[in-house]
Amino acid sequence: MKSRVFINGASTISHQPTFGEKGFSGSIARLEKGSEPLQPAYRDYIDPVMLRRMSRILRMGVTSAAQALRQAGVSSPSGIIVGTGLGCLQDTEKFLSNFLTLEGLIPPTAFILSTHNTVAGQISLSLGCHSYNITHTQNTVSFEMALLDGMMRLEESGGDVLVGAADEHIPFLDRLAAEWGYDNSVLTSGVSFFVLSDTASETTLAEVLDVDVFTGAGGDRKKITDSFLARHGLDRNEVDMVLRAGRQPGEDREFEGATVDYTELCGLYPTASGFAFHYGADFLEPAGTNKKVLIVNELNPLNLGLILLKGFEA
Amino acid sequence: MLTDAYVTGMGVISAIGRSVGENLHALLHKQSGITAVAAGPGKEAVMAGRVAFDDATLARDLGFSRLPVSRTSLLGMTAALEAWGDNRHIPGLKTGLIASTSVGGMDKSEVFYDDFLAGRPADYGVLVCHDSGTTSETIAEFLGISGYVNTISTACSSGANAIMLGARLLRSGRLDRVLVGGSDALTRFTINGFESLMIYDSEWTRPFDEARKGLNLGEGAAFLLMESEKSFQVTGNRPLGRVRGWGNAADAYHQTASSPEGKGATLAIAEAIRTAGLTPADISYVNAHGTGTPNNDLSESVALKNVFGASVPFFSSTKAFTGHTLAAAGAIEAVYSLLAIKEGMIWPNLNFAEAIRDTGLVPVTEPGKCTVDAVLSNSFGFGGNNSSLVFTL
């Protein structure tokens, strides 16, 4: 039985004033090269002993999760579901470098913190939460995979689930991008967490109507997108805002509504659609029930992520 | 009416063989695949379960020539191809793939990074293999599967979580059939990692033994083809068994260590049995996580006693055959669990001599004929990720 899915808490740490802010979707501008993520006061959210050991992705992840839960008034969610494209790169690189260069005993901390599921694990630890805990890692659609899992959990057993997107930048990525001939992009870190619930509350920002993914070659992207919208009785002209990534300018004319390339706002990282999800919910919150936002994620042309959001009024 | 997840195909590659048949033979004859394996320049050999074929041989036998490709992908393709068999793509049957890995293309990345750090010419091209999602996309593309292709990475419980997710996707009707499994290659990264944690046994691993010192790593892959009833009525495949119950719970105790009271493990096991619609007394055999580390085996033993009380079923760890294959472990052991049901056999726990004093639990140490109706398989990982599955006929 499909349940309705409400976004009751949303938190993003990015280059933009998104953390704990409302209405940012109306005011933020395109990222300038050289800008840095705005770091919140982590000490307000994380035990100082834990904080000292944490890489950037862990600090951002645990803090963003804590804030989303606070907003929604949820202390222990019934699932912690994280999507990450590249996982804990800082600790992975550190441990690689340690065992390749150090003689004798190697400190284990970087290895311990290097696994992809460290973000989800640290959140469960920080909350003392024994619920369902999982990490999806499917390149640029990792967040969509996590979101789909979260929606299935709500169908199965209801409650409140925490769904997030987390990726961190290390300087090596810039070097790699240059080697591979990708430049002019702001490669960066970004983290978003959301409390999704089968019940609306006074903190509900918007409603999630659907999510779908198409990975691999062979699908007609336009057709997939159209049938995704048709499942909800919609066509392309009935979407008020399209948030998209991975298309060249000029390819966007197929939608009549306003189109925003969200990577120009948040920079490039595999789970940037988590930012778009928050941006869309923030846009919808004051906009009312008839408005719809479609997120079309083709950051990697082989993977298509589709998310449909709808405004909500209590 | 809930749809069950029927298993209609299996494939496995590990240190004890490159097919389900070869693995079965080794299990029946107590032949471990763990040997002394080279662990990199300037390092002593370590005891590990290495797959006996190099990358070039695996690629050649698959007829796969695209480079670069990670060993994790090659192992995964080998097992996935065996599980897929001669199935065809059928319009109207939504087919997906969920793989899992903890190292992804690290076997290639660590070679690159060694050159990079030393200032030698380094091949940036191999880094396209690094991320875990690429492993699954490579396997899926090899089999012509597209649409829902996903990767789970929850360290040593990844394989079990991939199977669980596949079963849920079938149940929700989002997919009709799905290949689920896990794959991990031996890497210097993980060998050095577990050594740095002081839980790598330099000799044979001894799961559930009082004198156990740690794990031996292994490599390999396994996949199950799971179908809904609607699907196998179309494909005509015969079910080998069912994934009947599942549980996933966080220990929320420590990033790597398991809680002494086995909190997360107890919750996961109890949930798996409950969702299977069974009671603890219905479980014929437990394929334990049993890594051979002092911490895991004690915590898991406590959890077994928490759930089963004084009547703990027959149990064993098969890690002394294969080594701990990390993300592949839950999938490889799913194959062994289904084989236990099919063959009416319980697999032995090698290298066991003396029960853990605190719990007194004694695993099965000889292959034993027995009616096996329901098998519980445990997989526990870093991050306090505990997952259990229940398989039945």
Domains and CATH numbers, chain B: 5-235 (3.40.47.10), 241-392 (3.40.47.10)
Domain boundary among A148, A171, A197: A197
User: Is residue A252 pLDDT above 70, yes or no?
Assistant: no
Residue A292 forms beta bridges with which residues?
A310
| Domain identity same for A61 and A151 | yes
CATH no. for residue A57?
3.40.47.10
| Domain identity same for A81 and A185 | yes
* Shortest alpha-carbon distance between residue A80 and chain B (Å): 9
Nearest to B97, CA basis, from B180, B173, B169: B180
Q: Span A116-145, mean pLDDT?
A: 97
Matching residue, tokens 């107590």? B30
pLDDT value for A144: 98
Residue B113 with chain A: CB contacts under 8 Å: 93, 96-97, 100
| Domain identity same for A148 and A284 | no
Mutate which: B113, B150, B251, vs A, most A CBs within 10 A: B150
In-domain check, residue A50? yes
In-domain check, residue A102? yes
Percentage of chain A surpassing pLDDT 90? 83
pLDDT class for A250, splitting at 50, 70, 90?
A: low
Residue A214 forms beta bridges with which residues?
A304
Percentage of chain A surpassing pLDDT 70? 97
pLDDT value for B167: 98
**Distance in angstroms (rounded) separating the CA atoms of residues B324 and B201:** 12
Question: What Å distances lie between residue A180 and A174, A177, B123, CA to CA?
Answer: 10, 5, 11
The complex scores an ipTM of 0.97
* Shortest alpha-carbon distance between residue B255 and chain A (Å): 7
| Domain identity same for A36 and A173 | yes
Residue A130 with chain B: CB contacts under 8 Å: 249-252, 263-264, 267
Domain boundary among A197, A221, A254: A197
Question: Across chain A, where does the E strand assignment appear?
Answer: 5-13, 79-83, 132-136, 160-167, 190-197, 206-215, 241-245, 258-261, 292-297, 303-311
What is the number of domains present in chain A?
2
| Domain identity same for A45 and A68 | yes
**Distance in angstroms (rounded) separating the CA atoms of residues A16 and A282:** 13
Matching residue, tokens 């199950």? B224
A-to-B residue pairs, Cβ atoms closer than 8 angstroms: 177
In-domain check, residue A235? yes
| Domain identity same for A115 and A156 | yes
Structural domain harbouring A176 = 5-197
Subunit contact A122:B151, Cβ cutoff 8 A: no
Domain boundary among A138, A166, A197: A197
pLDDT value for A314: 72
Residue, of B287 and A255, whose pLDDT is higher: B287
Matching residue, tokens 């009785």? A233
Matching residue, tokens 């236990």? B340
| Domain identity same for A166 and A303 | no
Nearest 10 degrees: CA dihedral of B24, B21, B167, A62?
70
| Domain identity same for A15 and A124 | yes
pLDDT value for A185: 77
Residue B123 with chain A: CB contacts under 8 Å: none
Subunit contact B136:A138, Cβ cutoff 8 A: yes
Q: Evaluate whether B348 touches B316 at the Cβ level (below 8 Å).
A: yes
Tell me whether A76 touches chain B (CB under 8 Å): no
pLDDT value for B1: 44
Residues of chain B with pLDDT under 70: 1-2
Residue A79 forms beta bridges with which residues?
A132
| Domain identity same for A155 and A80 | yes
User: Is residue A213 pLDDT above 60, yes or no?
Assistant: yes
User: Is residue A260 pLDDT above 60, yes or no?
Assistant: yes
pLDDT value for A305: 97
In-domain check, residue A203? no
Q: What amino acid is encoded at A258 in this protein? A: A
| Domain identity same for A273 and A141 | no
Q: Tokens standing for B169?
A: 């996707």
**Distance in angstroms (rounded) separating the CA atoms of residues B219 and A121:** 24
| Domain identity same for A80 and A144 | yes
Nearest 10 degrees: CA dihedral of B54, B55, B56, B57?
50
| Domain identity same for A111 and A67 | yes
In-domain check, residue A202? no
Tell me whether A228 touches chain B (CB under 8 Å): no
User: Is residue A34 pLDDT above 70, yes or no?
Assistant: yes
